[in-house]
Amino acid sequence: MRRIFGLIVGVASLAGAQAAETPPYVVAYSETHPYSAGVVTFLTEAYRRIGVAIEAHPYPPGRSVELANRGEVDAEAARVPDAMGGMGQLIAVPEPLGRGDAYVYTTGAQLPVDGWESLRGLRLCVMVGDLITMKRTETMTREISHDGASQFRMLAKGRCEAAISDGAAWLMIDRQHLGHFRMMEKPLQSFPIYHYVNRRHSDLVQPLAEAFRALKSEGFSDALLAPYLTQVRESQARNAIAP
């Protein structure tokens, strides 16, 4: 009888332990951005250093941040603060991951770029998951795509006069043979990029900030970024319209 009772207690304890296992910590990231793999590698190492194992799941750009804000995933890999209006359940890790630049692309025309208002009056191709561009151009004439490749295909077909993206777009343009374009030299805007965690994980914010600073001081992030920058320059050389 004691043996049977002991077996029952043991099974019950095992079931309780399994039920209490910590669910995976899920970081959502944009499935379309060329730098996503590098960002995921950086975050995986940063979280490892504070004792947290993560799973990175790709989503359409607009959906990933919404899932993090609703708490359906634990964090959003990388976003720009200016685009985070309405995402009140997310907290930025105060050490930026890096810097982003928004550029104007055309099929050849040189445009006098001087901030977002300089685009008013043009028909623009924008991507729905690019939250800052959607916000800055909401009162302008737009053609909206659901991915970057479609955005540049619309530009090539003349459905808009300019497209807005970052410098990494050259990688996509090159790999998908989307055509030849001109990128205006002066960026529309430059901004810091941050990692965001859902508020229920606010205790991780400062440890992550320290891990980010350590990785950058060790040259970890520069080593990750260097091959991408080389690929961007090479892709731009192959696909940019000559000045």
3-class SS at 45?
helix
Question: Into how many domains does the chain fold?
Answer: 2
Which segments in the chain show pLDDT lower than 50? Answer: 1-20
- Residue 81, by phi and psi: left (phi above 0), alpha (psi -120 to 50) or beta? alpha
Range of the domain at 159: 99-189
What is the reported pTM? 0.82
DSSP string across 139-175: TS-EEEESSHHHHHHHHHTTS-SEEEE-TTHHHHHHH
CATH number at residue 120: 3.40.190.10
Q: 110-160, pLDDT tens digit by residue?
A: 999 999 999 999 999 999 888 889 989 999 999 999 889 999 999 999 999
pLDDT number for residue 152: 97
pLDDT number for residue 132: 86
In a domain, 48, yes or no: yes
Are residues 112 and 57 part of one domain?
no
Query: What are the φ and ψ backbone dihedral angles of 18, each rounded to 5 degrees?
Result: -65, -40
Nearest-angstrom CA–CA distance, 213 and 209: 6
In a domain, 199, yes or no: yes
Nearest-angstrom CA–CA distance, 3 and 59: 51
In a domain, 17, yes or no: no
In a domain, 185, yes or no: yes
Nearest-angstrom CA–CA distance, 23 and 205: 19
Are residues 114 and 33 part of one domain?
no
